[in-house]
Amino acid sequence: MHVTPADPADLRADCARCFALCCVALPFARSADFAIDKDAGTACRNLRDDFRCGVHAELRQRGFPGCTVYDCFGAGQKVSQVTFGGRDWRSGGPEHARRMFDVFPVVRQLHELLRYMTEALTLPAARPVHGELRRILAKTERLTRQTPEELGQLDVAAHRQEVNVLLLRASELARSGSGRRTRDRRGADLIGARLKGADLRGAGLRGAYLIAADLTGADLRGADLIGADLRDADLTDADLTGALFLTQPQINAARGSAGTRLPESVARPGHWAARR
């Protein structure tokens, strides 16, 4: 059976079709990312009756930059419109709301995996694993459409591990095809690292901690950045052309400039210009 990659539009948040699940289901603590504490299952104080954020245009100025870097990868509208058939958590009663809030993080993880697999299927060098990727992509899509009860019992960690084996292999094939490999820094502690002008072409930076790292002018072409923490990393004039598995939330959490070169899969954040 031929399975095509997911439509990228289905893997991007569509807040107009979601019942603000990220603003209610998820907890956050007062910090540099959030101005207040909020428990899971409690609506954010900024949430309006129409499920819209009352301070959306001023989130950073009001102390909520964490909201601007979050992405559900389309899980919000899937849970709202498909899993629960368009019935919102306010009108469905406490038990209905609890089930929505429990399911949302599960589907969010599955949609994140769909996002990575869809990208891996565009990598010509990863063709040897495309067949397996298509199979597990189809399986993952089916899982996202299960009932709330089935989703609640799903072992997401086990499924993620199954997918990660293929994503790692796709990354290795793509990076070896570039003709250049650097030392694997998977999960490395590079917090605040001085990497200005570093040649990191084809580097394995999966899950690396690059918080506040100086990557000014660094060459990250073809680097694997899946799960890398780029919060407050300085990407001024860096080249991330062809970077693998780079997501919009990662870019939104970093600092950059007009000279930062990005893959077509992500957009230049509006707040970057304001930090110049």
Beta bridge partners of 204: 184, 224
Q: What is the C-alpha separation between 219 and 117, in angstroms, rounded?
A: 25
172-185 tens-digit pLDDT: 999 986 666 567 89
Phi/psi at 24 (nearest 5 deg)? -125, -50
H/E stretch holding 165 reads helix 156-176
In 193-244, which ranges are E strands? Answer: none
| Higher-scoring residue by pLDDT: 56, 209 | 209
For range 87-103, the mean pLDDT: 95
What the block records as the tokens of 92 is 């469905």
Q: What angle do CA 89, 146, 72 make, to 5 degrees?
A: 55
Q: What does the CA dihedral 125, 159, 7, 129 come to, rounded to 10 degrees? A: 20
How many DSSP H helices and E strands does the chain contain?
A: 8, 0
Q: Could you tell me the pTM of the whole model? A: 0.91
In this predicted model, what pLDDT tens digit does every residue of 216-271 receive, in sequence order? 999 999 999 999 999 999 999 999 999 999 999 999 999 999 999 999 989 999 88
pLDDT cut 90: percent of the chain above it:
86
Given a contact cutoff of 8 angstroms between Cβ atoms, the answer to whether 247 and 267 are in contact is: no
Residue 149, pLDDT score:
96
